[in-house]
A and B are shown apart, each in its own frame.
Chain A
Amino acid sequence: MCRLSAITSSTYFSPMENILALETMKEGHDGSGLGLVMKDLGGPFEDLKSYPILSGTCSNKGLDMLDDYMQQAGFRIKYNWEPKIKRTAGMEIEPRDHYFARAYQYPSPYEPKAQVEWERLLLETRMDLRRMGEKDNSLFVFSFYPDCLTLKEVGDPLQLSEFFGLDDLSLQAKVILAQGRQNTNYAIYLYACHPFFIQGYCTMTNGENTAFVPIREYLTSREFSGYTGYNSDSEVFAHILHFAHRQLKYPLTYYKDIITPLKDEEILDRPDGKALSLLKKSLRPLCIDGPNMVIGFVPDGTIFMLQDSKKLRPGVVGGAAGKYALMSEMCGLDRAVPQRDRPADIFPSKYDMVMVTPNAQEVHVWNQLHG
């Protein structure tokens, strides 16, 4: 089962904290990969908040392709971050030619435009690059969005942190989601690695998604170009979140109502029961119906955890104002936030959605039964 480690803090911290937490939870992942999504960036990106950052990895050929494309599209590089790759004996990592996170300046006509417009531009650009690179795996792009950075690679997370030089602590953020991959039924492929990001929304998941095919069919038929990929059955969780919150403009908690719907008799007792019963029928194909735990964030920086009733072992949320961690295992939480009020740790029940407000100010448990 994949191990998940999310931390949110009011001050900048290094992804090493997530990775060390993953290391303590190592029994559950086989070191087949690491995925990192950082939001609200510090370090070199602190003063670049309004510039979209393209994250990915590529071969030399892919780099040429990328540069050509971006130049033609009118994007100009504002800042280019490449990790200083360190290789030590015993490392089982196949390095690629380039890893990058580049802040770009928008093509000039876009700068003053509305958010939906630049969001569409960034998404279409990422999709184009993805399609171009997918043919020969010369280019992988994971996210293209302001103030967000993604790193993904195959290998052991701790080794990868050294490989990427994350241990120099220069790269920092206020919200970081990290996944230690347990490779199951999918080939180790970078696009199959969580967390998945789309237009400011991000999730990572553990457990297998039994309803994957109908959900994928539903999403791909929404006529939204970003709903594609699905090399992992977990990618749908990010897209459902995006669909519910951004496209349908439902308040965040309805994400839980969609993917883990209440029974009809429970809906009757909800103050918004009438709306909920319509929504349950209408979004019936998006019910995940599998033993999954989901951790994710939305554009305002709220970070959450929830799970399906079939999830055998809950995740855990703990911390104090200013820093909270959302982990798949207790030992990960102990590592990330050792100093905390342990009895206040939260193990979400099947009805709970645990949400930490932006800047790690407070934690709320929203109970689906009461709405």
Chain B
Amino acid sequence: MEPASRLDHNGQLTLQEFPYIIQWREDRCTRCGRCTAVCPQQAIEPAVFAQRLVHSDSVTPMPSTVRKVSHGIRQVNDIDRYCTGCGMCSLVCPNMAIAPHYNPHHKFLFHKNLGGTPYKRGGRRNDPSPSTLDKLKFTRISMLTDPALDAGRHEFYIRTLLGRIPSPDKLPLKATGKRLIVKDGHFVPPVREIFPIRIGSMSIGALSPHMWEGLAMGITYLNEVEGIPVVMCSGEGGMPLRLLRSRFLKYFIPQIASGYFGWDEIIHALPDMVEDPCAIEIKYGQGAKPGDGGLLMSYKVLKLIAGIRGVPMHIDLASPPTHQTKYSIEEAVAKMIQSMSMAWGFRVPVYPKISGTKTAQAVLNNLARNPYAAALCIDGEDGGTGAAYNVSMDKMGHPIASNIRDCYLDLVKQGKQNELPLIAAGGMGKAGNLAANAAAMIMLGASAVDIGKYIMQTAAGCLGDEYNRCNLCNTGKCPRGITTQNPRLYRRLDPDKVAERVVEVFKSAEIELKKIFAPMGRSTQLPIGMSDGLSVGDKAMAERLKIDYAC
């Protein structure tokens, strides 16, 4: 047995406590040092090993020992330098000598609170089990009396409306003879026709300039060349002045949040705008961290960000959890919607985004009564973020499926299901099934869905997953160059390639949506609320979502 003196380091962790354990193959390693150089966590380091080799040169065993000093790679057992399993070491290793392996027995959360500081990270809820959306199936397949359509040949119209849509009795129409005409002098709220999958709010600041630029170029290409009207929300933190003044502004949704970052610049750019933005999103909450404000750490506030946001460099930028100037949510929503609408002459739809919550219906009813509210975006518990406490991400928030369903059915009760579009965010495409998740949400009553993490994963190779892989987005050390302001890191990301992937992702999502809608016989209108198309193999879920149970 070892002497006790070897074990008296209170709290020293074994590697078994760590979520990822590095396996390094001495026989393959050439000691090039690339892995240790690339590791964002310094979780591995060069090490010196003293080896005692026993060997025998004779024909009969004549063992002798040789002492040898060798060099290699060792994983450190410092909790602040834990291996995140990002896999960058494997990526750069020329000989496949190193790889992280997930350790399901880890005790990471027991220890990751050194100094009394709870664990903070980026990413989304670490729950790898299939989401509700992934359990829904499309079971109403058109057969004899309503033949299924050919996804390849039929004309499909996969668009949705963003904006307040007046009920027919409120339309300023009158019949003259056999025709309807629009009466003059009546206000008709602005409505945009967009692709039902949007890129949700991710700010320049949270994202690297290359990532944001890649997304922006991608959606512009989709609109201008492919004719797929995908739009993107800026996130809080403004937009580049050049974009604000360009004709491409119409593909973007500037977001205003509680810090109002970037809005001085946006308002000042108003006289120079040649196009209206697609819409304005007012952020009240975020699914990944409900009730929490935003925080952009000082080391991300470099020259470009400071300029766009209108702040000095190198300071922490905190957005409070609520809009401080407002007294209540009712007042906040009404006043914000009004002032934003006025800024653009009531030509731009303005809507709030809240985090998924049991109280979503209260907000909804408030909006339903406000004729200027253009939509409601709800961000469910599986939404992502650049930085939050782990406890907020893992334990706070409401699943999106039943939240949207309740809101939709509430609108149905009031007969307003077509007046106030619901946008579902948080966990769309969590397991890669973007089109299926989007279609299921639409059939539950959403008009559109937002993606964030999914597009980072598909378009830029974000390494994060629900096993807490990587999730270093809050540290400024994103190994992919997606969520960092460090030019040495974001140089790894080619904005043109990101844009190309964005285009590919949306083109294929459109095809997959057709492959879902065609067998269900739908082609002309988005099947919003077509809940008879869905089933689930779980009775409680079926009952809760008011859909069929099938097994």
Contact = CB atoms under 8 A, between A and B. Distances in A.
B232 interface: no
A1 B178 CA distance: 34
A264 B192 CA distance: 13
B179 A271 contact: yes
Nearest to A291: B146
B529 A214 contact: yes
Interface in A211-241: 211-214, 217-218, 221-223
Name which of A182, A218, A282 has the most chain B CB atoms within 10 A of its CB.
A282
B532 A251 contact: no
Interface string B365-403: 000000000000000000000000000000000000000
B240 to A, nearest CB: 31
A251 B529 contact: no
B173 A287 contact: no
Given A221-B417, A251-B179, A285-B417, A210 B169 contact: no
Nearest to A208: B146
B179 A278 contact: no
A213 B173 CA distance: 28
Contact of A282 (B157, B165, B414, B522): B165
Contact of B521 (A222, A275, A290): A290
Contact of B414 (A221, A274, A371): A221
A279 B173 contact: yes
B168 A289 contact: no
Nearest to B149: A310
Contacts of B168: 248, 279, 282-283
A272 B193 contact: no
Given A251-B179, A275-B182, A214 B530 contact: yes
Interface in B147-180: 147, 149, 154, 157, 161, 165-169, 171-173, 175, 177-180
A281 B524 contact: no
A352 to B, nearest CB: 16
B525 A213 contact: no
A248 B168 CA distance: 7
B413 interface: yes
B305 interface: no
Given A261-B524, A271-B179, A290-B521, A213 B412 contact: no
Interface in A174-202: 182, 184
Contact of B522 (A1, A248, A250, A289): A289
Contacts of B161: 281, 284
A263 interface: yes
Task: Identify whether the interface residues of B are mostly helix, strand, loop, or mixed.
Answer: loop
Contact of A291 (B147, B177, B530): B147
B142 interface: yes
B142 A208 contact: yes
Contacts of A302: none
A213 B529 contact: yes
Contact of A218 (B149, B166, B169, B418): B418
Given A251-B175, A272-B179, A371-B179, A221 B524 contact: no
Contacts of A276: 180
A319 to B, nearest CB: 23
Given A275-B180, A284-B418, A289-B523, A214 B528 contact: yes
B531 interface: yes
B314 to A, nearest CB: 48
A281 B191 contact: yes
A207 B145 contact: yes
Interface in A310-330: 310, 312
A113 interface: no
Interface string B172-207: 110101111110000010010100000000000000
Interface in B116-157: 140, 142, 144-147, 149, 154, 157
Nearest to A217: B412
Contacts of B191: 281
A204 to B, nearest CB: 15
Nearest to A366: B178
A13 interface: no
Given A212-B532, A276-B180, A290-B521, 17 more contacts: A208-B142, A210-B146, A248-B168, A260-B524, A264-B193, A272-B179, A272-B180, A275-B181, A278-B173, A279-B171, A279-B173, A282-B171, A283-B418, A289-B522, A290-B146, A310-B149, A310-B521
